[in-house]
Structure 1
Amino acid sequence: MGACTSRRYRSQNVVVINDPRRLSREGNPEDFPPQFPEYWVTGDCPQPFHNIVECGTEEVTHVQDILDRTMFMANEVPHKMKISKLLRIEDSRMWHQYERSCACLSEARTQEDEPADVIRTPFSGTLQPKPLTWRLAPEELRNRLRLECNEAYLWHGTDRKSAEGIIGHHFDMKRAGSVNAKALGRGAYFAETSCLADKYSPLGPDGLHSLLLVRAALGRVYVETRYTKWRGGRLKRMVSAKNVVKEGKYDSVLGDRKYAFNTDAREYCVSNTSQLYPEYMLLYSREDDPAFLPGQPGK
């Protein structure tokens, strides 16, 4: 099957770099969704594609905005992070899988009594706030998200090699969660605060750190406030995201570190790759500036 011709061109201050390694696909082009995001440069391509797009000034401003607004963690002075380069991933196959997952979650959860974006702690029924990245996202980013499948942008911090592997071949669930000791079970882990994700982003060979801004269809979220407990003289994990999702009532897991580790931060664990789309890769530098203290976010 053919693919879009490899090319490099400029359109609306965006440089598109086709990656020929990812242009060979299996399947029928008609199986791909008829419409990709309107802000994508290659959304009208009839053949499978994988493009790495260097974003222009306006898009960098929006992502820098959400980076700054979510740079919050209690009792810590955050590093100011400045984007040096912002890359947008336009991948037809990954997007197709993600869209199908969003559609399935939307259909399943809209039949329930409570909308999927309402997050409650089991048993107590305590209402949890929506992800910080959703509440504080610029309007241009938040308007892209679908409430019916509880879609949100979330941060994923990792080293450069792993980040490049994710945007090229998606999350590897066999390795996912190893940095977190799989505290919530096997799955990919995400932060709602950029400074928490930054802790997992070591310096790259070019002197820059890397973060991924990932679209996640969270669906119905299970909330866990205790990560471990002693059982039979051994410390056991309280929850397995994979098992929780397999039961069918929930689609992802939210771990509240405030109760588990006395840290005012929350993290999400998603065990199904198709519920994730790694849309942006940020290459950024840290700037130590004690005067930079964003206000505590509202709920």
Structure 2
Amino acid sequence: ALLLCRACLGKFYYVTDRDSGAKQKVESGEFDSTVGDRAKAAKTYREVVVYDPDQVYPEYVILYDRLDGGKTVTANDAPFHLELPVYWVNVHRNPISDPFSVHYTVREKIKDLIQRLASGTCSGSKPVVLDVRRVEDSELWNRYVGFKAGLHQSLRNMGETRCLPPNELDGRPESGHALTSKLLEDEVDAEEAAGIENMDFTLNELLLWHGTDEESATAIAESGFLSGSAGTVEHGRRFGEGAYFAEDLAKSISYAPESLAGVRYVLLCRTVCGHIWYTEKSSDTDAHQDAKRSLKHSVLANPDGKGPREYVLFEDTQAYPEYIVQLAVNDDFTATQEDEAPTNQITVQ
């Protein structure tokens, strides 16, 4: 999908090379926007950047399909719901009045995108993505969107506009961004799977990995994350109670047991971290209590300041398990019948 917008640029800062200080020039009042003319410098594209949402009016939503080799498509007049990802098969359905719960095996193009994301965020041996299924579940989605709406309202009540992002918590603003978010910035096909345009960074909404086993992956995709003593999903306790996620896939893989055929399961999840409690302790089993007392919504643990970092979420509604990913970490993988993806309610989309 694309948005065709009216934009008021005012006095713009013109630059032909990457300039990480462009935003600061606008915030100082010297300029109102930035024009990055990469078309002139690198023969790519010219981009316009505005930093105040009031400068933009999204006038048209354009749904499109990329055509290859003479492929043709017919217009789809079905309505769609803006709260759903536009690449979902069920985007035309009302998730409140018309419930759905289906797992789709993704197209090869999306599988390749997940492979690049997995390779780019894994500090250990590079994994091989074997199978990817997208979870489209209206009940889980409604709960997730409900948490986001509640957090937005809470910020408004407190007179706040955003939650401090991870890179502003660890003292390394230039390098402390979530790995998954940084990689997606340069992915031209990301909007077809999990583009950053679909993420609300004011709430610290991030794509993060969660390692688990096959049975738990299926249970989470059907019922969500059940944190705490009443939950059926096993989580770590090194940094308190909650559901554990990571930006470094190698960390999540360490929680994913390997089958006899060498297959592991991880979930690629949308997560809302909200206000984050940051710790560099090597272990802190009371971190979740300290965070809640400080009105935080999650814990970001960076052991000894060296990582790998882990995110701990307290509510199951803070995470949506969008992709079930089967992968192998080495070349010893041998497919067997019991390791094949179940075919019930799965189609290629």
Q: Is the 8 A contact 1:227 1:238 kept in 2?
A: no
| CA deviations over 1:209-262 (Å, ceiling 9, x no partner) | 11100100111111011144xxxxxxxx453325623x3631111000244xxx
Percent identity of equivalent pairs: 25
Give 1:51's aligned residue: 102
Give 1:196's aligned residue: 251
Give 2:51's aligned residue: none
Q: Tell me which amino acid in the other structure corresponds to 1:158.
A: T
| 1:35 shift after superposition | 4.1
| 1:143 shift after superposition | 2.1
CA–CA separation in structure 1 for the residues paired with 2:160 and 2:90: 39
> Of 165, 171, 174, which aligns to 1:126?
171
1:163 aligns with 2:217: yes
Matches within 5 A, 1:59-98: 59-72=110-123, 78-98=124-144
Task: Evaluate the alpha carbon distance shift between residue 279 and residue 205 of structure 1 in structure 2; reply closer, same or farther with a 3 A threshold.
Answer: farther
Task: Evaluate the alpha carbon distance shift between residue 244 and residue 220 of structure 1 in structure 2; reply closer, same or farther with a 3 A threshold.
Answer: same
> Of 81, 84, 93, which aligns to 1:36?
84
1:268 aligns with 2:315: no
| 1:106 shift after superposition | 2.5
**3-state SS of paired residue (2:127):** strand
CA–CA separation in structure 1 for the residues paired with 2:162 and 2:259: 41
> Of 147, 153, 164, which aligns to 1:107?
153
Q: Which runs of at least 4 in structure 1 moved beyond 6 Å after TM superposition? A: none
**3-state SS of paired residue (2:329):** strand
Task: Evaluate the alpha carbon distance shift between residue 112 and residue 194 of structure 1 in structure 2; reply closer, same or farther with a 3 A threshold.
Answer: farther
| CA deviations over 1:128-163 (Å, ceiling 9, x no partner) | 622111122235222221112110000001111111
Q: Tell me which amino acid in the other structure corresponds to 1:126.
A: G
Give 2:199's aligned residue: 145
Q: Tell me which amino acid in the other structure corresponds to 2:214.
A: R
TM-score, scaled to structure 1: 0.71
| CA deviations over 1:17-44 (Å, ceiling 9, x no partner) | xxxxxxxxxxxxxxxx774211110222
CA–CA separation in structure 2 for the residues paired with 1:193 and 1:160: 20
CA–CA separation in structure 2 for the residues paired with 1:136 and 1:117: 20
Give 1:292's aligned residue: none
Task: Evaluate the alpha carbon distance shift between residue 132 and residue 177 of structure 1 in structure 2; reply closer, same or farther with a 3 A threshold.
Answer: farther
| 1:67 shift after superposition | 0.6
Give 1:217's aligned residue: 272
**3-state SS of paired residue (1:80):** coil
CA–CA separation in structure 2 for the residues paired with 1:202 and 1:183: 19
Determine which structure has more spread, i.e. the larger CA radius of gyration. 2
1:172 aligns with 2:226: yes
CA–CA separation in structure 2 for the residues paired with 1:279 and 1:219: 19
Q: Tell me which amino acid in the other structure corresponds to 2:324.
A: M
Gaps of 5+ in 1: 1-11, 13-32, 73-77, 229-236, 290-299
Task: Evaluate the alpha carbon distance shift between residue 117 and residue 54 of structure 1 in structure 2; reply closer, same or farther with a 3 A threshold.
Answer: farther
Q: Is the 8 A contact 2:210 2:252 kept in 1?
A: yes
Task: Evaluate the alpha carbon distance shift between residue 59 and residue 185 of structure 1 in structure 2; reply closer, same or farther with a 3 A threshold.
Answer: same
TM-score, scaled to structure 2: 0.62
